[in-house]
Chains A and B, each alone.
Chain A
Amino acid sequence: MLIPHPLLGLRDAEEFTYLGDARLLDRPDGMAEGAAAAFYEYVHLRDNPAGVHRELWFHEQGDRSWLVVTRNTVTHEILGAELARNVKGGAA
């Protein structure tokens, strides 16, 4: 798979480390009411869709940026990639 890095162009997926669903960017507030349940869902539960999936890839063997890659889990077609910090806003 080739990942279209927004700064570096097409890069081999082998240069990256895979983390998982991009929803991991939305970390719950540990001080909020019901934080234990929210963290259980955050850490352990996944949508795991068959089809379009937004997911976090770390360019470990490259510029060490986190990307949000949109990819089809049925065909492995990569539909786009953006810098995670632009998705999250601020330092991600």
Chain B
Amino acid sequence: MRYSGLRVIKEALTGHKGWKPIWRNPEPQSSYDYIIIGGGGHGLATAYYLSNTFKKARIAVLEKGWLGSGNIGRNTTIIRSNYLLPGNEPFYEFSMKLWENLEQEFNFNAMVSQRGILNLLHTDAQRDAYRRRGNAMILAGADAELLDQDGVRAMYPWLNFDNARFPIKGGLLQRRAGTARHDGVAWGYARGADLKGVDLIQNCEVTGFRIENGTMRGVETSRGYIAANKVGVAVAGSTGRVMAMAGMRMPIESHVLQAFVSEGLKPTIDGVITFGAGHFYVSQSDKGGLVFGGDIDGYNSYAQRGNMAVIEDVAQGGMALMPAIGRARLLRVWGGIMDMSMDGSPIIDRTPVSGLYLNAGWCYGGFKATPASGYAFAHLLATDTPHETARAYRLDRFERGLPIDEKGMGAQPNLH
């Protein structure tokens, strides 16, 4: 079933009786060629590109809960490619290009909205850093504009420009960045994979690996043993737990990141704004709620909920940037578990176990990476070679002294 405007009109005139479930709910088979562990955004995107682009078959996605029950539905929906380092920027720009054509590609409304992201700057040093970042983006084929204070004022006149401590002096604008409907992304990839015969198996927890002589044979699950020679792990947040079953310790700590949405307000913010003096980012959903977030809580956690101190810290960032936010009431606060890696950058690589592949370490930047992560991981699974934009995301880069540390924080996961 293809979606189209005509189809919507036809269904509207016939009582919406023609809509069907958009994926099957199959029983697991005894063996597959490819198993993806994790039915979140990255796992589903991997299955989608593996079946649609790389034309592979006999693929299963194993999901402990329901599809899209993790961070794909918990983020603040921002998509962007405004990174600095050569190991990162081409990858995220590749992702941005996939976003731009995503809905046509998988025929599903993911509400991709290129409404622009504005990173505010508050000091001369920060202007230099953003000019450098903007140049790095342009070199990698992305777009970037450096705005002065008047340029920012023309976009958002109600920001607190004259804050005594952190006056707003300008900003780095990426117009092609924006937001997407995060659940829609998971559903679109799930539907596209299912249409190509991928088995999306929910309520199926992986409980162990069967590894013989260093080679992957299959996985033990809560619904029985399933054989597969190639197993891809895409379980951000739980990477440490899953890889421990294969006897590996990871360069990753799990941390909780909170996100927030206010009550519905009149249209105020038509893009994404980030505060450059604290950690605060905000956009406005189509329903009117301000969607915003800040730092991770900072301690190891698997709780999917955080503490009050960070809520206060994020609210203070918002108040410093846009004092009007003080009149808005919070509607919901939630948390997701982040794979915080040792350099703040992800891993898409083979592992010491032949046939076991890893997609992990997305820190709190995994959503924008979803299309490229899936594409690059599918490329790796299908060809055993890394995608050209993901070559730097090696598991052994820490041992070899080749970290990709955007913030220059060193091996301290809670600072990335």
Contact B251 A45 (CB under 8 A): yes
Contact B303 A46 (CB under 8 A): no
A44 and B399 contact, Cβ closer than 8 Å, known pairs A1-B307, A73-B301, A74-B302: yes
Interface of A (DSSP majority class): mixed
Contact A41 B249 (CB under 8 A): yes
A44 and B251 contact, Cβ closer than 8 Å, known pairs A18-B298, A20-B413, A74-B302: yes
Contact with B300, one of A1, A13, A44, A53 (Cβ below 8 angstroms): A53
For the complex, give the distance between the alpha carbons of A76 and B414 in Å.
17
Contact B253 A20 (CB under 8 A): yes
Residues of B within 8 A of A (CB-CB), count: 25
Is the interface on chain A under 10, 10 to 19, 20 to 34, or 35 or more residues? Answer: 20 to 34
Contacts of B158 in A (CB 8 A): none
CB of B250, distance to nearest CB on chain A (Å): 7
Contact A46 B240 (CB under 8 A): yes
Contact B303 A47 (CB under 8 A): no
Contact A50 B302 (CB under 8 A): yes
Contacts of A43 in B (CB 8 A): 342, 398, 411
Contacts of B250 in A (CB 8 A): 45-46, 48
Contact with B411, one of A13, A14, A44, A71 (Cβ below 8 angstroms): A44
Contacts of B300 in A (CB 8 A): 20-21, 48, 53, 55, 73
Contacts of A37 in B (CB 8 A): 399
CB of B50, distance to nearest CB on chain A (Å): 28
Contacts of A14 in B (CB 8 A): 309
Contacts of B309 in A (CB 8 A): 12-14
Interface string of B292-312 (1 = CB under 8 A from A): 000000111111000101000
Contact with A73, one of B302, B413, B414 (Cβ below 8 angstroms): B302
Chain A minimum-CB-distance residue to B237: A50
Chain B minimum-CB-distance residue to A53: B300
**A window 7-47: CB within 8 A of B:** 12-14, 18-21, 37, 40-41, 43-47
| Interface residues, chain B, with chain A CB atoms under 8 Å away | 238, 240-241, 244, 249-254, 298-303, 307, 309, 342, 398-399, 411-414
| Interface residues, chain A, with chain B CB atoms under 8 Å away | 1, 12-14, 18-21, 37, 40-41, 43-50, 53, 55, 71, 73-76
Question: A46-B250, A46-B251, A76-B303 are known contacts; what are 19 more A-B pairs with Cβ within 8 Å?
Answer: A12-B309, A13-B309, A14-B309, A19-B412, A21-B300, A40-B398, A40-B399, A43-B398, A44-B342, A46-B252, A48-B240, A48-B252, A48-B300, A50-B240, A50-B302, A55-B299, A73-B300, A73-B303, A76-B301
